[in-house]
Amino acid sequence: MKNRVVLSSPKAKGDKFENTVLELDQNSRWFRVVDNTSETSLEKHNGYEQVIKFVIMAQRNVKKKEIVLAHNGENGKPFIGASTITSYMSEAIKNGRLVKSRTGYYTAPKNIEGEIPLAE
């Protein structure tokens, strides 16, 4: 979502607050709070599905670094951060949607037969 950001404080030492989705109003140039529950879960679901779809569409073993690079924007800023991608991939492995074929390599369960060339 182009004009949205998530306000969070993951390193807070005291009282923590829920992540809050803010949307920029182009006219006033102020942020406003957007409904957290449905928006945040929808964004998480979309990112999770994007990562899985990328690996499935590759139809081969894919390095984690390749997945991270594929989710960078044209300015080099990630659409989905590396740590978020790592957690999505761990969740996908637990759910049986992806398979870790070798250290640092991931594939769809049906593509596990494909061997990684020794040259890599």
Residue-wise pLDDT tens digits, 39-96? 445 455 577 888 888 888 888 899 988 988 887 766 666 667 788 888 888 888 888 8
Contact residues for 45 (Cβ-Cβ < 8 A; gap 6+): none
Residues comprising the chain, all counted: 120
3-7, 27-31, 54-58, 60-64: which has the minimum mean pLDDT?
A: 3-7
Sheet with 20-25: list strands edge to edge: 4-7, 20-25, 30-34
In this prediction, what percent of the chain has a pLDDT beyond 70? 76
Supply φ then ψ for residue 62, to 5 degrees: -125, 135
- pLDDT of residue 22 exceeding 80, the answer is yes
CATH for 18-111, options being 2.60.40.10, 3.40.50.300, 1.10.10.10, 3.65.10.10 = 1.10.10.10
Beta-strand pair 62-63/30-34: unpaired
Task: Yes or no: say if 81 and 89 are a contact pair by the CB < 8 Å rule.
Answer: no
Burial of 84 (0-12, 13-18, 19+ CB in 10 A): middle
